A and B are shown apart, each in its own frame.
Chain A
Amino acid sequence: MEWFVKRLGISVLLVWLVATIVFLAIYLVPGDPAELLLSQGGAAPDPAIVEDLRDQLGLNRPVLEQYLHSMAGLLRGDLGYSMMDGAPIAGEIATRLPRTLELIGAAALISVLVGVSTGTLAAVGAGGAFDRIASALAGLGLAVPVFVVGTVAILVFAQSLRLVPAGGFVPFSQDPAQHLILLLMPAGTIAVGLSATMFRVTRSAVLEVTLRDYVRTARAKGLSFRRILTRHILRNALIPVVTVLALNLGTLLGGTVLVEYVFNWPGLSGLLVDAVNGRDYPAVVGVVLVISILFVTLNFVVDVLYAVLDPRVRHG
């Protein structure tokens, strides 16, 4: 329990640090956001209009006041307004975040099913034909960048074979079947690399655990092969597998950008790319903050999961 509180405290501290850094980053950068925003056409903007915008964005107030103001907003769940269309950023994020999470969840599900099962099979028959073929495929899966997979998948499955639409999004409530069909391609695309990662971790974890003394004990007890594999080997191999999965899911929180772009999936990343292109500082800050908070939260959840999986951690 004490461990849990301590870990929770560290997570809260990290979130605060991240928010502060993102806030400071905007300040440390040369150039005035208001001027940059208005000078997009190329011509120098009218100083009076720049001044107006600075006022409107609160950029004329002292740094500390702005900082406290934005931190207070963050606590209330207020992330400010978009400089592009004036819409509240928190609302936009609330609409798009679930779509991104759904994509990541579906990809993780496919990857765990494919990667853990093939990884175990490869380890059991290490050195055999299946192991060699699967290991080679995993090497390939890790080497192909996600946007290449996505683009080629569209070319093959959507353009040539015409099996699925090239991309897009339909809310689940509107048409569940179509929603899932549209989910399949982007999720499958992410799963190519992630399954390969899961395969590798599972394979090496199973091989390593197999050599442990307690597996020898399990053999000496006369347990069946299936029971040794599930209860003794996989149960322990799960610990590194879960760690690596969580690390990768965290990376995916920002990494779906490319896949969402390729498949026109209106998730959080699309908002981010638009905001980056349009130099919409409040929107960029909002999205980066939300994702980083999720990232920190995820790491916290993993640590808790760790303690559940490995009883030794609880006392460490």
Chain B
Amino acid sequence: MSGKAPKDPRFPDLSYAVLPGARSTRVSGGRTIEELEPEYKIKGRTTFSALFKYDPFDFWVGPFYVGFWGFITVLAIIFGTFFYVDAVIIKGPYSLPQNFFAGRIDPPPASVGLNLVTPGQPGFTWQMTVFFATLAFVSWMMRQVDISMKLDMGYHVAVAYGVVVSAWITLQILRPIAMGQWHEGFVLGVMPHLDWVSNFGYRYKNFFYNPFHAIGITGLFTSTFLLGAHGSLVLSASQYRGSEGSDIEDTFFRDVQFYSVGEAGIHRLGFIVACGGVLSANMCILLSGWVVQDWVSFWNFWTTLPFWSNV
């Protein structure tokens, strides 16, 4: 049982301790949202009130918390959605439902380089949509920080979301800057972005041979496996009333595969695998075209390693 066995004193302790009294807050059957929510709806304790002693948007709208970053998020969503819906759905070349699939916003032409496009020129809508989408994503992440501060918990959710945002930023901002033109960003639109991904893979010969792509895919498959294993284990253990109690989870997995990572451990492992997979996917995109032009001949280094080059 993790958290109960002795630790190794030679290494730093990155484990956890459950606060005294935390377990005694448990209520059989649980409380309703109406019962518990008022206890947690306190004023202050947000990023903005920590900096400026005051957060002008420190309130809730229905179930949603707003906060300063929620305000920014709403603005960015309104502007970004306007540019996308106007260009793709309304002004698209087909009927409205067809535009949903086939409509597209192309990045600026290669001649623009890294300049900003003036209104009315090709690529302006793309730059505006990407700008406001990035603003919305980052503000949403900061809003998660606000909510985590309010609830006096760790920032892991915001970090995990930040990893997803980093994939967007890598694709639409970092790699285009590395390549020297906004033209390298991907097309916005449902089917066009699939075509872009497909073409991107073959542009660098074969993305299946990209090792960071392989690690990223492995991370996604492992995440799905861990999610299925953890979800099914908790669902089955939730109906268990035998003498083992919660230990049945560890007992079962030790019988199945000789090791159970533990109740806390599975969440740590899942977080690491999911985020690690996406970070590796970032690398596979960033390196393509910037450092590596051809993932097939990339592997020539392997066959020409000195200790077996003559084998």
Q: Do A and B make up one complex?
A: no
- By a beta-carbon cutoff of 8 Å, the part of chain A in contact with chain B is none
